[in-house]
Amino acid sequence: MEVSQAEALAELLSNSHAANFKAVNSQSDLKKYGVFKATRVKAQRGALSFFDSNVHQLRIKIKTFMISPQANQSTPYMIVDIDSKCGWLKLMRFVGNNHGELNTETICVLVSGDEKVTNSFGFRYEHPERFDGNKHGFFHVQPIIIDSSAAELPGRAAWLPDNFPTFYMFASCAFELALFSVHSLAGWEPLQTLQQKSRDENGVLKHLIRVGANSRLPYPFTV
């Protein structure tokens, strides 16, 4: 990923995390998600957690990782968005695959009721896989029930498969893969903010922020 693109994404995601983390700490109906703070989860030897330290450190971490992904490593989960209707917490992190290519994982978590019942689901956004027959030899999205760190999603649907359905992603590089990931969690608005600040001319970015009649313009991304 180009440095300018990594800087723009790192700023967007760290700012979003900071705002959402503040909401988790300050809003009574969201404080229940404090159990997933990284420091608390680590102390309890749990699995799924989100970043809860200095935001400047987070920005540096994710920028560095996006520019030079480490094989079989990952960044901390960030809070990309909070569902305003039901209160789902929407998390995302960057992952380096076996070949050092940048993928992402997203997990949505809901804690509900007096019993604090936890449910979650997730997806992975991946570079083309290198298996015989090129079964998934294209940029794609698939569901997950266990993330790449072998952390089980809390309250996941036990019947959910993790190798299909496989959704084609109209991406050709790590930056575009990340854009799809953010868009799936938070919509087009944060991507519009990113484009306005960075002035990035990427065609996929431009297409993802189109709405209404403009969203019906055909590929390729020439406008």
Phi and psi dihedrals of 130, rounded to 5? -115, 70
Residue 64, class by beta-carbon neighbours within 10 Å (0-12 exposed, 13-18 middle, 19+ buried)? middle
Strands 102-112 and 78-82: unpaired
- 160-219 pLDDT tens trace: 887 889 999 999 999 999 999 999 999 999 999 999 999 888 989 999 999 888 888 887
The pLDDT score that the predictor gives to residue 221 is 58
Q: With contact defined as beta carbons under 8 Å apart, do 85 and 110 qualify?
A: no
- 55-104 pLDDT tens trace: 999 999 999 999 999 999 999 999 999 998 889 999 999 999 989 999 99
Q: Domains of the chain: which residue ranges?
A: 3-210
How many Å apart are CA 178 and CA 182, to the nearest integer? Answer: 6
Q: How confident is the model at residue 156 (pLDDT cuts 50, 70, 90)?
A: confident
- 20-53 pLDDT tens trace: 999 999 999 999 998 889 887 765 555 788 999 8
Residue 139, SS3 per DSSP = coil
How many Å apart are CA 111 and CA 89, to the nearest integer? Answer: 9
